[in-house]
Protein backbone atom coordinates (compact mmCIF):
# COMPACT_ATOMS: atom_id res chain seq x y z
CA UNK A 1 0.00 0.00 0.00
CA UNK A 2 1.23 3.44 -0.96
CA UNK A 3 -0.18 6.73 0.30
CA UNK A 4 -0.53 9.37 -2.40
CA UNK A 5 -1.61 13.00 -2.08
CA UNK A 6 -4.06 14.10 -4.78
CA UNK A 7 -4.89 17.73 -5.52
CA UNK A 8 -8.57 18.67 -5.49
CA UNK A 9 -10.71 21.73 -6.10
CA UNK A 10 -8.58 23.53 -8.73
CA UNK A 11 -5.44 22.77 -6.78
CA UNK A 12 -6.56 24.39 -3.55
CA UNK A 13 -6.95 21.23 -1.47
CA UNK A 14 -5.41 17.78 -1.07
CA UNK A 15 -6.62 14.36 -0.02
CA UNK A 16 -4.59 11.28 0.86
CA UNK A 17 -5.44 8.05 -0.94
CA UNK A 18 -4.02 4.58 -0.40
CA UNK A 19 -3.16 2.68 -3.60
CA UNK A 20 -1.95 -0.87 -4.16
CA UNK A 21 0.66 0.16 -6.72
CA UNK A 22 1.73 3.31 -8.54
CA UNK A 23 0.74 2.60 -12.12
CA UNK A 24 0.83 6.06 -13.67
CA UNK A 25 4.40 6.25 -14.99
CA UNK A 26 6.96 4.18 -16.86
CA UNK A 27 6.66 1.32 -19.31
CA UNK A 28 3.84 -0.40 -17.41
CA UNK A 29 1.67 2.71 -17.72
CA UNK A 30 2.38 2.96 -21.46
CA UNK A 31 1.01 -0.58 -21.87
CA UNK A 32 -2.08 0.23 -19.80
CA UNK A 33 -2.63 3.46 -21.75
CA UNK A 34 -2.37 1.65 -25.09
CA UNK A 35 -4.88 -0.98 -23.94
CA UNK A 36 -7.34 1.70 -22.76
CA UNK A 37 -6.98 3.52 -26.08
CA UNK A 38 -7.78 0.35 -28.02
CA UNK A 39 -10.82 -0.32 -25.82
CA UNK A 40 -12.12 3.24 -26.27
CA UNK A 41 -11.95 2.90 -30.06
CA UNK A 42 -14.42 5.29 -31.66
CA UNK A 43 -14.89 7.66 -28.70
CA UNK A 44 -14.41 11.35 -29.54
CA UNK A 45 -12.67 13.86 -27.27
CA UNK A 46 -12.71 17.64 -27.49
CA UNK A 47 -9.50 19.49 -28.28
CA UNK A 48 -8.31 23.08 -28.42
CA UNK A 49 -10.46 24.58 -25.64
CA UNK A 50 -13.45 22.62 -26.85
CA UNK A 51 -13.40 23.97 -30.40
CA UNK A 52 -12.39 20.72 -32.11
CA UNK A 53 -13.03 16.99 -31.94
CA UNK A 54 -10.73 14.03 -32.41
CA UNK A 55 -11.26 10.29 -32.17
CA UNK A 56 -9.08 8.54 -29.62
CA UNK A 57 -7.98 5.93 -32.14
CA UNK A 58 -6.59 8.71 -34.40
CA UNK A 59 -4.34 10.24 -31.73
CA UNK A 60 -0.73 9.09 -32.33
CA UNK A 61 1.23 7.29 -29.63
CA UNK A 62 3.89 9.27 -27.86
CA UNK A 63 7.25 8.88 -29.59
CA UNK A 64 9.28 10.81 -27.03
CA UNK A 65 11.97 8.65 -25.50
CA UNK A 66 12.61 8.66 -21.79
CA UNK A 67 15.39 11.04 -20.85
CA UNK A 68 17.90 10.12 -18.13
CA UNK A 69 17.63 13.53 -16.47
CA UNK A 70 16.28 16.98 -16.99
CA UNK A 71 17.91 20.37 -17.03
CA UNK A 72 16.74 23.50 -15.29
CA UNK A 73 17.15 26.97 -16.75
CA UNK A 74 15.79 29.88 -14.71
CA UNK A 75 16.81 32.42 -17.31
CA UNK A 76 19.12 34.25 -14.92
CA UNK A 77 22.41 33.02 -16.37
CA UNK A 78 24.32 35.41 -18.64
CA UNK A 79 25.75 34.21 -21.91
For 15-52, the pLDDT digits (tens) are: 998 887 776 777 888 888 888 888 887 888 888 888 99
Residue 2 lies in a domain: no
Range of the domain at 27: 23-58
Question: In angstroms, rounded to a whole number, what is the distance separating the alpha carbons of residues 58 and 74?
Answer: 37
Q: Are strands 44-47 and 2-8 parallel, antiparallel or unpaired?
A: unpaired
Residue-level pLDDT at 65: 67
| Residue 42 domain-assigned (yes or no) | yes
The sign of the CA dihedral 74, 75, 77, 79 is positive
Q: What is the pTM of this model?
A: 0.44
Tally of domains in the chain? 1
pLDDT at residue 14, rounded to an integer: 92
Residue 32 lies in a domain: yes
Amino acid sequence: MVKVKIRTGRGTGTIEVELDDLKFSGEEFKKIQKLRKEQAGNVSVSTGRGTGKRKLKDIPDSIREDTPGSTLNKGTKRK
